[in-house]
Amino acid sequence: MLKISQSNYETLRRHGEETYPHECCGVLLGRMEDDGTRVVTSTARAGNTRLDSLHNRYNIDPKDLIRIQREGRERDEDIIGFYHSHPDHPAQWSQTDHNEAHWFGCSYVITSVEKGKAVLTNSFELTGSDEDDKKLVDEQIEVA
């Protein structure tokens, strides 16, 4: 399960509306509880490096990721997930999303943005132990 505050939830959904008709992407920072629940305490926007095909692919700039990870550690936050938007596409992971997901135990949050308006937000946990058995599994989002 992913726990997120109303304001962080709105922030990541707004981001997808702002970059429409392109995809947005960003990082979820927070902590992992003993029962495996991920608790989001902040979000960080990232630049999209996939300028060739902004509407159906995303890739976080590695330099951004290192900076976000470092700044998070200074606040005792870890990277616990990632988010991106699907402009005019359902809030379901694509084959590309699956191929490019490598952070096991992290949440992958996808928001569908239809005609510039954020509609559905879903989260998927990357389970498994290596590239051969990895799976993106539906998980509940609790907005508090």
Where do contacts with Zn ion occur on this chain (CB under 5 A)?
Answer: 94, 97
Q: Whole-number minimum distance, CB 84 to Zn ion, in Å?
A: 5
Q: Angle at CA 96, nearest 5°, toward 138 and 131?
A: 75
* Nearer to Zn ion (CB atom), residue 8 or residue 122: 122
CA distances from 128 to 79, 82, 98, 124 (A): 18, 17, 12, 13
* Nearer to Zn ion (CB atom), residue 77 or residue 81: 81
* Nearer to Zn ion (CB atom), residue 38 or residue 86: 86
Q: Whole-number minimum distance, CB 43 to Zn ion, in Å?
A: 17
Q: Whole-number minimum distance, CB 143 to Zn ion, in Å?
A: 21
User: 96 Cβ partners below 8 Å, 6+ apart?
Assistant: 56, 57
